[in-house]
Structure 1
C-alpha cells in the first residue's frame, strides 16, 4: 500500500512535468487488479 502511494505521487509529479498522467493511471489500474 505504501509503495502504491509513492507510485501515485511519482505519477502526479510526472503528470505535471510530462503530462503522462493517463499512462500512470493505466498502470495503477492494472496493478490494482
Structure 2
C-alpha cells in the first residue's frame, strides 16, 4: 500500500501548492471524519 499524505491546511492553502496525491482534510474536520 502506498503511503498516505494528509494535508490538514485549508483548501485555499492546499490549492496554492501541495504534495502530489496528498489528501486535503482541514484540521477542523479531521475528528469528524474519523468516524
Normalised to the residue count of structure 1, the TM-score between the two structures is 0.27
Normalised to the residue count of structure 2, the TM-score between the two structures is 0.27
Structure having the higher helix fraction is 1
Structure having the higher strand fraction is 2
